[in-house]
A = this chain, B = another copy of it.
Amino acid sequence: MSDVCLQAENLHLWRGDRHVLRGVGLTARAGEVLQVVGANGAGKTTLLRTLCGMIQPEEGRITWAGRDVREDLHAFHAQLAYLGHEAPLKAELTARENLRYWIGMRRRVSPAEIDRALEQTGAGAVRERLVRTMSAGQKRRVALAGLLLLSVPLWLLDEPTTNLDTEGQALVGRMIEEQVRAGGIVVAAVHHALMVAPERLKRLELSSP
């Protein structure tokens, strides 16, 4: 299990004229939380999207369990969950249906499991409601339930506590602790410190370009 490890070396990326990622390197091993911090515009979102293979870096490479992720992108994607600034939910479906289709595409999932996850993230009360009618924080909670259900080792989270109330922020902290305790890896872009026991935390500081 010690070889489950996300590594990036010397990533370079330009957006327009802007050299956004300038030789970023990182290592995240099983059981670790990597906090990506940096001022607004430092490149946190860009880094996360590059790590999950959605943007091709112009230089540098990313390895998962020792192998370049480009060798088998499908297999790598099957191991990761990415949660961006917006929750990937369909406004016209209910919370349950959303999870059924989103998760079901990747693994077999039972309605009971879905309900359990929604309960855990405090979205049990809105499970039959259309996502369109939910408040910003309620949507986030449904997306977090999806994250739990995917049960993959690698989480890439972009400001996961956005729109959540205090209780919800604590929930995210607990979810992350649980994930690394089970041997997973969490890479999270954050502005507010995560509520996680400090011994597991690593920091990667991006400086503004």
Contact among B15, B45, B134, B159 with A133 in the assembled complex (CB-CB below 8 Å): B15
Of chain B, the residue at the smallest CB distance from A162 is: B162
**Is A192 an interface position by the 8 A CB rule?**
yes
Stretch in A59-67, A110-118, A165-173 with 4+ CB within 8 Å of B: A165-173
Binary CB contact string for chain A from 90 to 122 against chain B (1 if under 8 A, 0 otherwise): 000000000000000000000000000000001
> Using Cβ atoms and an 8 Å threshold, which residues of chain B touch A136?
40, 45, 85, 159
Contact A141 B40 (CB under 8 A): yes
> Using Cβ atoms and an 8 Å threshold, which residues of chain B touch A16?
133
Q: How many copies does the complex hold?
A: 2
Contact B135 A167 (CB under 8 A): no
A167 to B39, CA, bound (A): 8
**Is A138 an interface position by the 8 A CB rule?**
yes
Number of interface residues of A (CB under 8 A): 29
> Using Cβ atoms and an 8 Å threshold, which residues of chain B touch A141?
40
**Is A163 an interface position by the 8 A CB rule?**
yes
Of chain B, the residue at the smallest CB distance from A159 is: B163
**Is A137 an interface position by the 8 A CB rule?**
yes
Binary CB contact string for chain A from 118 to 148 against chain B (1 if under 8 A, 0 otherwise): 0000100010000001111110110000000
A69 to B162, CA, bound (A): 33
Contact B191 A138 (CB under 8 A): no
**Is A164 an interface position by the 8 A CB rule?**
yes
> Using Cβ atoms and an 8 Å threshold, which residues of chain B touch A38?
165
| CB contact under 8 A between A162 and B165, given known A15-B133, A41-B126 | no
> Which residues 5-59 of A sit at the B interface, judged by CB distance below 8 A?
15-16, 38-41, 45
